[in-house]
Amino acid sequence: MILPSRALRYAALAAFGLLAACSSGDEEVPYVERPAEQIYNEAMDDMLARDFFYATSQFEEVERQHPYSVWATKAQLMAAYSYYQQNKYDDAIGALNRFIDLNPANQDIAYAYYLKALCYYEQIVDVGRDQQVTQNALTALDDVVKRFPNSKYSRDAQLKIDLAHDHLAGKEMEIGRYYLKRGFHLAAINRFRKVVDEYQTTTHVPEALHRLTEAYYALGLTAEAEKTAAVLGHNFPGSDWYQDSYANVAGGDYAEGAFQKSWFRRTLDIF
């Protein structure tokens, strides 16, 4: 079977649009039934040509004309992918949820969950804005790791989970710095503690421990400040943040053998 060229298909689409424009509002564009495989292949051609808008409509047409065919199932997933390529993430997520609900045992179900996670992940914005989409991304990525631990998508999902955690920790740090700068030390401590307790593997932990030391010291809680600085020195001994913390607690005498100071050795005994 010879498939119509892209030019002919666009001409046909334009003709249908003209017919619709010339007809009354109650009339519909003529329905032209085609074989499912033909429509699907045309949609794939459009997708390979990166014409994702037209590809989406063609994939959806497969299901509209042949809802119970094997091609319809394939088209559902490909329509979602086409939406994803257009950055229409809400449409893609809706299509993927439908695919997952209708085809829980499909061979491509792991990819469907992964693509859904990507739709959330790629919407993560800067730390200055609301982080709900980051939470959604974490939930979806965690779903991939737990449901399909041995799939080829699990490793990438785990890497993205780590990056999303780092993003959320960055948000907590931003708020904590804001409170600390304005003298709201208890509020700042709560934020920095959250980073240390909940995001232990992120890049923000050394600074969080340093900021905690600052906040405790500002409140006159010297023992807590020394203990926190010791934790920082024990886990990140080469960190610039530790040098700053020691300077705060030991009066700027870091260069004179910080690791030999009595306060550090005393608090180090807790490990």
Q: Which CATH number covers residue 47? A: 1.25.40.10
Looking at 151, 166, 181, which one is the last position of a domain?
166
Q: What is the pLDDT of residue 124?
A: 84
User: 179 and 153: one domain?
Assistant: no
For residues 12 and 29, the answer to whether their CB atoms sit within 8 Å is no
Quick one: residue 30, left, alpha or beta (phi over 0 = left, psi -120 to 50 = alpha)?
Answer: beta
Residue 208 half-sphere exposure, CB side, CA atoms within 13 Å?
A: 26
Of 8-17, 95-104, 118-127, 175-184, where does mean pLDDT reach its minimum? 8-17
Instruction: Please check whether residue 183 lies inside any domain of the structure.
Output: yes
Total domain count, the chain: 2
Read off the pTM.
Answer: 0.69
- CB atoms under 10 Å from CB of 19, counted, come to 13
227, containing H or E segment: helix 222-235
User: 256 and 201: one domain?
Assistant: yes
Cα separation, 135 vs 268, in Å, equals 36
Question: In 3D, which of 111, 109, 116 has the Cα closest to residue 94?
Answer: 116
- Determine the average pLDDT of the residues in 144-160: 95
Q: What is the pLDDT of residue 25?
A: 44
User: 103 and 66: one domain?
Assistant: yes
Q: What is the pLDDT of residue 31?
A: 66
Q: What is the pLDDT of residue 20?
A: 44
Give ∠ CA 233-216-260 in degrees, rounded to 5.
30
Write phi, then psi, for 171 (nearest 5 degrees): -65, -45
Greater pLDDT, 234 or 6 = 234
Q: What is the DSSP string of 74-105?
A: HHHHHHHHHHHHTT-HHHHHHHHHHHHHH-TT
Instruction: Please check whether residue 26 lies inside any domain of the structure.
Output: no
Question: In 3D, which of 191, 147, 151, 145 has the Cα closest to residue 170?
Answer: 191
Listed ranges 4-13, 21-30, 64-73, 253-262; the one with the highest mean pLDDT? 64-73
User: 45 and 87: one domain?
Assistant: yes
Write phi, then psi, for 59 (nearest 5 degrees): -65, -40
Q: What is the pLDDT of residue 230?
A: 86
Looking at 147, 166, 185, which one is the last position of a domain?
166
Sign of dihedral through CA atoms 186, 188, 189, 191? Answer: positive
User: 188 and 74: one domain?
Assistant: no
Within 5-122, where are the H helices? 6-22, 36-48, 52-65, 70-85, 89-102, 109-121
Cα separation, 211 vs 28, in Å, equals 66
Number of H helices, E strands in the chain: 13, 0
Greater pLDDT, 156 or 252 = 156
Instruction: Please check whether residue 80 lies inside any domain of the structure.
Output: yes
User: 81 and 162: one domain?
Assistant: yes
- Determine the average pLDDT of the residues in 54-74: 90
Its domain, for residue 137, covers 35-166
Supply the mean pLDDT for the chain.
81
Question: Over pLDDT 70: what percentage of the chain?
Answer: 76
Q: Tens digits of per-residue pLDDT, 232-264?
A: 888 887 777 766 666 665 654 433 333 334 444
User: 120 and 191: one domain?
Assistant: no
Instruction: Please check whether residue 24 lies inside any domain of the structure.
Output: no
User: 177 and 244: one domain?
Assistant: yes
User: 49 and 86: one domain?
Assistant: yes
Question: In 3D, which of 127, 129, 140 has the Cα closest to residue 199?
Answer: 127
Instruction: Please check whether residue 15 lies inside any domain of the structure.
Output: no
